Amino acid sequence: MNGWLICAAAALATIGVCHSWLGERKIIGPLLLRSQDAGSHHMGRGTRRIIRGAWHLTSVTWIGGALIFLVIGANNLTDATRGILVLTTLLYGSISVYLLLSTKGRHVAWPLFLAVSVFGAMPLVGAG
C-alpha cells in the first residue's frame, strides 16, 4: 500500500465528512430553514431536497475519490493508474487554486485540496 496515496485518501475523506457535517450545520441547514420559515414560495420542498441532496452528493464524491486513491495505492502503478493519478492530482490542484483565489484564501479546504494533489502526485515523481 502506498503511504502517499493513503494520505491523499485520508485528506479527501476528511474533506468529504467535514463538507457534509459543517455544511449541514453552518450553511445548508440554516439556509433552508430560513427559506422555510420565511414561507418563501420561491423555494418549495422539492427544491430544498435537491439543494440538500446536491450538497451531500458532493461530499460523497470526495469520499469516492478517496476510495480511488486507496484502490490505486493497493496495486502496482500501471500506465492507466498513472494517467488516473495525473488527472486526479490536476483536478484537486485546480480545486485548491480555485478556492484559494475565489475566496482570497478564506475557505478552509483549499490547503487540504492542495495536500490531496501533492500526496497524489508523489508516486508519480518516484517518491514511495
Q: What is the pLDDT along the chain (128 residues), one digit of tens a residue?
A: 899 999 999 999 999 999 999 999 999 989 888 776 655 566 788 888 999 999 999 999 999 999 999 999 999 999 999 999 999 999 999 999 999 999 999 999 999 999 999 999 999 998 66
Looking at residue 31, its pLDDT comes to: 87
Return the C-alpha cell found at 67.
476510495
pLDDT at 46: 87
The answer, as to whether pTM is greater than 0.85, is: yes
- Please state the length of the chain: 128
Per-residue model confidence (pLDDT) at position 38 = 58
- What stretches of the chain adopt beta strand conformation (E)? none
Q: Please state the domain extents for the chain.
A: 3-123
Phi, psi (5° rounding) for residue 73?
-65, -25
10 Å CB burial of residue 48 (0-12, 13-18, 19+) is middle
C-alpha cell at 116: 490531496
DSSP 29: H
